Amino acid sequence: MKGLEVATTKPGRRRWRAVLLTTLSLLLAAALALGGFLAYNWYYLQPEPVPAGTPAQPAAASVDPRIRPVVPTAPAPTPEGVAAALRSGLRDPALGKLTGMVTDPLTGATLWTRNPDEPRTPASNAKILTAAAVLEQLDHSARLHTEVVAGRDGQVILVGGGDPTLTVQPEGADTLYTDAPRITELAAQLERTGTTITSVAVAPSSFTGPAMERTWDVDDIAGGDIAPITSLMVDGARTDPLDEFSPRSEESAMDAGRALAQALGLHGKVVEATPARSAKVLATVQSAPLSTRVGDMMRRSDNVLAETLAIELSIATGGPATIAGGAAAVLKVLRDKGFDTTGTVLRDASGLSTADRVPARLLDQLVSAAAGDRHPALRPMLDTFPVAAGTGTLADRFPTGNPGAGWVRAKTGTLTGVSSLTGIVQTVDGRVLTFALMSGGTSPADARPALDDLAGALRECGCRG
């Protein structure tokens, strides 16, 4: 299996992680309200004291949220200081063939590089490009709509609008995606119309082209990493709507139709039907805002959501509703916004393709732009990065003793033989650094801790030479 993004939760961490999650967006909003060039929330994770004689338990932590505005008077880092901080960690053979870049976003100064222009397989770090393009180009409050329209002889037709967060979960039940629209709400609206409904059909996908990029591994469908991409899906095509790593369905549109029929108390076969152009809309639900969906995509490293967001971008910019069109739209928008995409090749928007190529310089430049004031539309991207030892795909990384825990926010990327980590860290001197680190040729199980050590070294870095 190629797709390897994992975010599990150990029992000893559950007590504090839920608290951490609830504070993330509130604290970032408060920090940004302070104004100035940079202002962030950082989460210092302090191990909880254990009374003498208590049996050893999995390490837990308390959450001490702190707002750390970054001011120009903080000591300026130097290339010599960063090189010294990284020197020991760079000797780790687990890093394999490493490329990377570290930048001071306050000044734009490049502080450290290693072959930053060499295009490398980014894995899920490609989602940084997707998030950046979508946030730069589209309205952050934009929503997608799923409709039910009238067919013939009492049939109703479910029409997807490109939103894979539609859920089969009933009203009041938990959902994997944030503020997911519900099929049961569509059923409730239909019942309120008083229409006599005899059967349910689903409309053909409005997406065109192949539903799977040809470089993807079909085994990753059962492995829970991807599904055929269509305009009508439920729960990201998961067969278990609450299991992030659930196997995916190959007929999620039909799954949606069957869920609607069940909610309406119908037991006949669900078929595909093309609605008339003038078909009456009987019910509609809408997705969460674009910014929320980008956040879900980044924190969960959700491949299906990445592909549908890119197709949404392609449609909005006049391109085709295809996987290839989405990838092309991402690169076009980034170029149009002034980013250098030289050497970059995207076969998809999720990074699942082993044919994707992205240089570390572009990844670092996008994060630095988000940290600065020249691309304000990108700033929300920083809040989508998982917190080291705290959330998302970094929940179980940066173990006790790594100084980056709680202070690093970064997007992970993992495929067989490929590990990437791109993000932002506040140093002990109060300066923000951005970084992109791309490892290849070694086992991700070995490379990821080595990358975490490098990011942690940047946290401890006084970096003044």
Active site positions, annotated: 124, 127, 301
Q: Which residues are bridge partners to 156 per DSSP?
A: 150, 200
d(C-alpha 384, C-alpha 413), whole Å: 14
CA dihedral 208, 150, 192, 234 (to 10 degrees): -20
d(C-alpha 393, C-alpha 287), whole Å: 24
Neighbours of 132 (CB within 10 A): 27
Q: How far apart are the first and last CA of the chain?
A: 44
- Write the single-letter amino acid at 375: H
User: Which of 325, 339, 4, 284 lies closest to 150 in space, CA to CA?
Assistant: 284
Query: Do 377 and 139 form a contact (C-beta atoms < 8 A)?
Result: no
**For residue 364, which phi and psi values (nearest 5 degrees)?**
-65, -40
Coil, strand or helix at 46: strand
d(C-alpha 89, C-alpha 345), whole Å: 30
Helix, strand, coil shares of the chain, percent, nearest 5, are 35, 20, 45
Q: At what angle do helices 252-263 and 183-193 cross, to 10 degrees?
A: 50
Q: Which residues are bridge partners to 43 per DSSP?
A: 65
